Amino acid sequence: MNAEGLAVVTGASRGIGRAVAMELAARGFDTVATMRDPADGAGLSGMRVERLDVTDPSTIRLPDDLRVLVNNAGVETDNLPVEFMAAESWRKLFETNVFGLVEVTRRAVPLMRAGGGGVVCNITSSSTLAPVPFLGTYRASKAAVTAIGESLAAEVAQFGIRVIEVMPGPIETDMLATSDQPAAAIEHAEYRALAEKMWEGRQGIRDSYTSAPEAARRIVDAICDDDGPLRYGCDPLSEGDRQRQVGARDAAVVLVITGLAHTALHVADVAIIGVDGVVATREALEERGVGFLVEGVADLAGLRTTWFADPWENVFILLEKVSRAARAYYRQY
């Protein structure tokens, strides 16, 4: 995608959203930074600032010539154990992080379709890639967006609309600073020791925080990357987590096609195998002849005779040879 046309960013009053709006404008997009209170957009130049509250449909007005939508608006809540998280907290968080995002997106799709295509960029979280205690509510909302994005990508590719997901790790924002304290779970005796351990671990990654402008640069790079995958990181920690997850999925594809389904389930813990979020059954692959390609590579790598001797070594030897071809195949569907 060339850096031109109209881009809308939700939740652009601060943090990642504000930085992304500034980066889009700097690259040449006609940018609209939206937020609940436009007064919070003071200081933003080279773009329009408009009111948009994703939880209030009456404020959602998207331009007809929309090319890029960045779904960044989101909230978090107290980091509590699931048993202590009130139902109202779940509803409040999902109202913004999921239902609000869906409402904006469903209005954007027909506009992009009429304009010949575009990009929907969903900002989620790399926390969904690991079982982080006390983030169940937040992670569940972001995981819902992941699932929605996968289905949406399959639905709208035919219209020239790309859907991507960016999964930030620790980015230096107001939201991160606000959460830079022990989880609220520490107030519950049953979970105090675990909360203390989590807080201690957080101290060790402070030197790995990424600035919001750098994260925004990577996000806009992803938006402009027509041949890229469904998912991206925007900092070293999230990109490392994402690559490890993609590696497991690629390994599962290789193993299932070569007939070692039980080992694939152990590696990826899935029955339907995915690469970069797009899924297909073994039968669907074989119908298109992809099984022969990957099975041939597996034979060359000696998988059938050496797999059980050192499984992970064999997986990553195969990944190096197969992942590029596998991703190129999946992007067609």
Report residue 123: phi and psi, to 5°: -95, 115
In 10 A of CB 165, how many CB atoms? Answer: 27
Question: Can you say how many angstroms the Cα of residue 39 is from the centroid of all Cα atoms in its chain?
Answer: 29
Q: Compute the distance between CA of residue 73 and CA of residue 142 in angstroms, rounded to an integer.
A: 12
Task: Determine if residue 7 is left, alpha or beta; phi over 0 gives left, psi from -120 to 50 gives alpha, anything else beta.
Answer: beta
Catalytic residue among 138, 191, 232, 329: 138
Place of tokens 């990357």: 225
For the chain, give the number of residues: 333
* Count of Cβ atoms closer than 10 Å to residue 295 Cβ: 17
Active site residue 138: yes
C-alpha–C-alpha distance, residues 252 and 32, integer Å: 42
279 DSSP β-pair partners: 274
Closest by Cα among 3, 1, 44, 55 to 21: 44
Question: Any idea of the CA torsion for 241, 331, 118, 93, to the nearest 10 degrees?
Answer: -40
Catalytic annotation, residues: 138
